[in-house]
Structure 1
Amino acid sequence: MPRRLTATLRGWFPRPFAGLTKRNLLREAGAGVTLLAIAVPLNIGYAQIVGLPPTVGLYALVLPLIVWALTVSSRQLVASPDAAAAALVATSIGGLAIAGTADYLSLVLAQTVLCGALFLVAAVFRLGFLADFLSKPILVGLLAGLALDILVGQVAKMLGISVPPGGEFFEKLLALVTGLGAANVWSAMIAAGCLVVLLLGRRLAPAVPWALVVLVLATLATTLGGLEARGVATLGPVEGGLPELHWPVVAWTDWAAVLPSAIALFLVGAGEGLLVSRAYADKRGYRVDANRDLFAFGLANVASGATGSFAMGSSTARTAALDQAGSRTQFPAVIAAVGATLLLVFGTGLLEHVPGPAIGAVLAVAVLPLLGIGDFAELWRRDRAEFAIAGVCFGVTVVFGSIVGIGIAFVLALVNLARRAASPDIDVLSLDEYGASSAEGLPLGRTTAPGIVVVRLAAPLFFANGTVFQDTVQRTVEAAEPPVRHVVFDMEAVSDVDITGAEAFARLRSWLLEHDIDVSYSRMRHETRERMQHLGLLHGEAVHHSNREALAALGARPNPRPNPGPNPGDPNP
């Protein structure tokens, strides 16, 4: 194994539970109980969204949580299945196998392991930046589409209406609308009561695990009132016992079939997880390593797939709840894992009579923030183009599903990136100013001094803007009076040059020389100079340390102006 990789991996296994002391041990243990109380009902609900038994959701609280706590750099980020991951799994695997069958479970496990492998590869090759490729408008639209799909299913569960598991959004919506006449009144009453308690309780006492409270109360009401006999659906017998280690055995074609959805899970999980990890590290004053967090996500997902559960992402809500409880370490994850183990061994009988409408209410409240109504309103106020991107992602996800939504999101991200990169700031510097002055709105033929143009591209020179830069400089030179005889390229902001950009620059340089215009450079980075020499763009032209030096060499002098005194931070003294 290469020495660098060995050192990298050694850095990803630090002393666990950083920040844990004797003084905060009791508080951290209490936060672990809180985490367990929040996680049990939600994980059971997410397992039902996926189309798997309740115990599958509980399995994610055992080995994956322990692996996560021992390897992650963040002291607070909580790893868990979440609503977005559950919806992605359900919609992607639902088209490949029938929910609840052995083949369906095998595909879910294969998808989870493959997702974990993608996290590990991204960590080893330091590809965390890929997660940032999904901008906020794209994530807002994508998650809102997934949330709406979940809500339709949960509203049906709250009303006691049967909808096709794993079906398309409009198929579920049609089943919900046509089944309204057969809705169960008792189910609706339980769901309404749970919603009132959840929404009011979260506002009045957010530290209380209201999801657990409503499940306990609803279970008591269902059992004491004999509501199962009146048509209220319950979980039924829940299989107990610890998860067993096994590897998903599927055909190679099935591995290929789940790859696109595994990539989608990786991107959404990494994008949200790294953002939340960084936000809490900044808030609480400690450092995190994004690539080590990716490594922890990878190990947690592999452990989840190998113990019979589904994809692990990050939970913003659970992280916020533990932060509010005063937790500053990963020790609560271990406490929650121990509690989940005890529940699986001794307490699954307690889950048998939990009513489905109550679970639907818990999940509906949990996914409601994913609709992003406030985010859509903010995008509308601040940037209509970004709002349109979010709207397209939302519509595509609802109509065509999560995988197509992710694909369209990437296309939109590329289009948005290309649109911005293709319109870089190209500045013509004034003779009497240190900084740049944008040429936009100024006469096209503006020059720095008679016969001299100092031009600066405020971006790397690459395929998206090379031709734009070439055309802009040519038009500026052609329109100048008197004719331009010297062009100085200020290279301060050009951090890289690719092949296509180099070809455009070579054409521009040839055009300038054909018109008897000399070329020189100023403020060129050492790396950029080596890159341009490698690409054959430098042919002995002068390279000056500053624009003033370049202008002095050409016989130009700045206009006199009041001297404010020396500025040590001035990049061009």
Structure 2
Amino acid sequence: MQKPLVGLTRQNVGRELLAGVTLLAIAIPLNIGYAQIAGLAPTAGLYALIVPTVVYALVVSSRQLVASPDAAAAALVASSIGGLAVAGTADYATLALAQAIISGILLVLLAVFKLGFLANFLSKPILVGFVGGLALDILVSQIAKMLGVKIDSGGEFVEKVADLAAGLGTTNPWSLMISVGAVAILLLGRRWLPLVPWALVVLALATIFVMLTSADQAGVAVLGPVPAGPPALTWPVLDWMMWLAVIPSAIALTMVATAEGLLISRSYGDRRHYPTSPNRDLFALGLGNIAAGASGSFAMGSSTSRTAAMDQAGSRTQLPSLVLAAGTLLLLLFGTALLADIPSPAIGAIVGVAILPLLGIREFVDLWRLDRFEFWIGATCFIVTLFVGSIPGILVAFVLTLINLAKRAAAPAIDVLARNDSPSDSLLEQAPRGTTTAPGVIVVRMAAPLFFANADVFVQAVRSAVAAAGGPSEVHHLVVDMEAVTDVDVTGSEAFATLREWLDDEGVALAFSRVRTGARPRLERLGVLRTDAVYDTNRAAVAALTSRVG
């Protein structure tokens, strides 16, 4: 097993420690905001940066991936648990702990049984639509916070928009002033000096502004007292029916965390030339979620923004995550008084700016330009997630994935091959359907596994090829190039048996070329390949063709 902190050397330890300070400055304000989105106390976001972060950093294979609660996870927690308990209550917090633990167990099981490939069913359009819907829902709440307008943050999207529109007349001018200044600093600062932790700068300046002007007495909401002390190990005590009630949302969290985590891990591993282990990364994320549920936090995933920030800072190890954990612990022990006067509009501005890229506007434009069908998949997932809910959104995502998969699988490339009779070579190459390779011989290539979605398509394609070449009276041999047929299911084998009967009735002999060694046992067991095939006097010509097809 790979040792913890692989890649750390005497030469880069200073850079890694500095990156850790940067990560601390980025993570603390964001996690406070994400905890509020989730309907939990600020400490729930801070606790996630201690025990879960240490567990994850010491186990994960990726040298750079940062794990933490993010906007999507926070929105999922709020939307799924909001219907089971009232946000801010003890029961609500307990359900969030249970949700994180179940998600962690599922991630560990995915790793143990090497099932990480299931996350591949969440294609880019689906992730863009799903996360974009969650992000827009969050953005409405953050805009209300920036304006000082009170809305029901646990309500449906339409209700939030209606409450926001109705409350525009109650906008607090001090809150608006803080928000405008915060957004300007974040956007301009990121553009001109991207390495500066502008989120921390905004929190510090906004807090000083509130303390100097007493803006809180003019109606500006502040964070308020934050309990001091380290996280305490705990375990959610719930009725088994409540455990069952959070399983669907835990599955949704697991799938999104798996898809995003593996994608980001592989991407940075390839970019920075170090190996990663998908199953180990899932195992680390699972242990991190279990630790989150056992230490007063909520579900965590892989943070794209923080990982990108660490890469930009030159970090190539997990030491910054350990620095983050140590710094957060010190803050909880000695510095919680500094958090009490943080204005909510500043937190709303930080979270709002952070989630803007998650809306996926650029990705939707690219999808529209590249593939309209995939654009509508993403758009449908976006709309369902936004107007119906996160759990229906993830269910629709899987249904759309299966439809997309079936659509593509049902139309495989089926080529009819012909011999090139030019003097330079005599290799078989692709030709229009119906052209014969030699008198009475057709070679057909199926460029996909043979299964229920494309079996009938293949049979009809072969019949059409024979008919186009003059029918059974002109075609005596059919050669099937099996190089791309890696598998077959029962439906596919039955369809092939029907084709074989038709060929036998019409007097067309059947042969195969380039059968894959790994696929041969299954093809023989299901009856696609037969050893009793008998060919007429052209058998030698067929054998010659099958040895050279390509």
TM-score, with normalisation over the residues of structure 2? 0.95
**Correspondent of 2:448 among 456, 459, 483:** 459
Change (3 A) 1:134 1:571: farther
Q: Is the 8 A contact 2:130 2:394 kept in 1?
A: yes
Task: Indicate the SS of the match to 1:454.
Answer: strand
Report the counterpart of residue 287 of structure 1 in structure 2: 275
- 2:458 aligns with 469
- 1:172-183 matches, cutoff 5 A: 172-183=160-171
Structure 1 residue 572: Cα displacement: 5.6
CA displacement at 1:445 relative to structure 2 = 3.2
Alignment correspondent of 1:200 = 188
State the one-letter code of the partner of 2:512.
Y
Measure, in 2, the Cα distance between the counterparts of 1:434 and 1:255: 64
Matches within 5 A, 1:295-310: 295-310=283-298
Query: Which of the numbers 484, 491, 494 marks the counterpart of 1:493?
Result: 484
State the match for 1:531 in structure 2: 522
In the alignment, the residues of structure 2 paired with residue 296 and residue 130 of structure 1 have an alpha-carbon distance, to the nearest angstrom, of 17
For the 8 Å contact 2:223–2:340, the answer to whether it is kept is yes
Matched, 1:251 2:239: yes
SS across alignment from 1:527: coil
Which residue identity lines up with residue 389 of structure 2 in the other structure? G
Question: Can you list the C-alpha shifts for 1:69-121, whole angstroms capped at 9, x where unaligned?
Answer: 11000000100111111111111111111111111111111110111111101
3-state SS of the aligned residue for 2:63?
coil
Going from structure 1 to structure 2, the CA distance change for 1:557 and 1:162 (only over 3 Å counts) comes to: closer
Q: Report if the CA contact (8 A) 1:164-1:172 is conserved.
A: yes
Q: Is the 8 A contact 1:519 1:541 kept in 2?
A: no
Aligned to 2:475: 484
AA aligned opposite 1:519:
L
Choose the corresponding residue for 1:36, options 6, 16, 24.
Answer: 24
Q: Secondary structure at the match of 1:430?
A: strand
- Asked whether 1:137 is paired with 2:125, we answer yes
For residues 381-460 of structure 1, what are the structure 2 equivalents within 5 Å? Answer: 381-432=369-420, 434=427, 436-437=429-430, 442=432, 444-460=433-449
The whole-number CA distance in structure 2 between the counterparts of 1:17 and 1:42 is: 25
- Sequence identity of aligned pairs in percent? 60
- In structure 2, relative to structure 1, the CA distance for the partners of 1:424 and 1:158 (3 Å cut) is same
Relative to the length of structure 1, the TM-score reads: 0.92
Tell me the equivalent position of 1:327.
Answer: 315
Q: Secondary structure at the match of 1:206?
A: coil
Residue in structure 2 matched with residue 190 of structure 1 by the alignment? 178
Contact 2:100 2:292 in 1 (8 A): yes
How many angstroms does 1:542 deviate by? 6.1
How far does the alpha carbon of each residue in 1:245-279 deviate from its partner, in whole angstroms, 9 at most, with x for none?
11111122222211111111111111111111111
The residue that corresponds to 2:513 in the other structure is 522
Q: Aligned partners of 1:193, 1:106: CA distance in 2, in Å? A: 37
Counterpart in 1 of 2:204? 216
Partner of 2:423: none
Match of 1:62 in 2: 50
SS at match of 1:374: helix
Alpha-carbon distance, 1:554 to partner: 3.0
Q: Supply the distance in 1 between the matched residues of 2:247 and 2:534 (Cα, whole angstroms).
A: 50
Residues 153 and 172 of structure 1 are in contact (CA less than 8 Å); yes or no, is this contact kept in structure 2? yes
CA contact (8 A) 2:428 2:437 kept: no
State the SS of the aligned residue for 1:75: coil
Preserved CA contact (<8 Å) 1:41 1:215 = yes
Q: Which runs of 5+ in 2 are unaligned?
A: 421-425
Q: Secondary structure of the residue that 1:61 maps to in structure 2?
A: coil
Q: 1:183 to 1:66 in 2, by over 3 A?
A: same
Where structure 1 has 5 or more consecutive residues not aligned to the other structure, the ranges are: 1-10, 545-549, 559-569
Counterpart of 2:347 (choices 359, 363, 376) is: 359
Deviations 1:321-368 (A, max 9, x none): 111111100011111101111111111111000000000000000000
1:423-443 Cα distance to aligned partner (Å, 9 max, x none): 0001111122646526xxx4x
CA distance 1:556–1:120, shift in 2 (3 Å): closer
Instruction: Indicate the residue corresponding to 1:567 in structure 2.
Output: none
Aligned-pair CA distance for 1:501: 1.1
1:522–1:543 Cα contact (<8 Å) kept: no
Partners of 2:417 and 2:435 within 8 A in 1: no
- Amino acid across the alignment from 1:471: Q
* Paired residues, number: 541
Q: Root-mean-square deviation (CA), in Å? A: 1.9
Could you tell me which amino acid in structure 2 is paired with residue 120 of structure 1? V
Contact persistence 1:427–1:436 (CA under 8 A): no
In 2, the alpha carbon distance for the partners of 1:131 and 1:342 equals 37
User: What amino acid sits opposite 2:79 in the alignment?
Assistant: T
Matched, 1:113 2:101: yes
- CA distance in 2 between partners of 1:169 and 1:551 (Å): 70
Of 89, 114, 134, the residue aligned with 1:101 is 89
Question: Does the 8 Å CA contact 1:219/1:355 hold for their aligned counterparts?
Answer: yes
Whether the aligned pair in 2 keeps the contact of 1:112 and 1:311 (CA below 8 Å) is yes
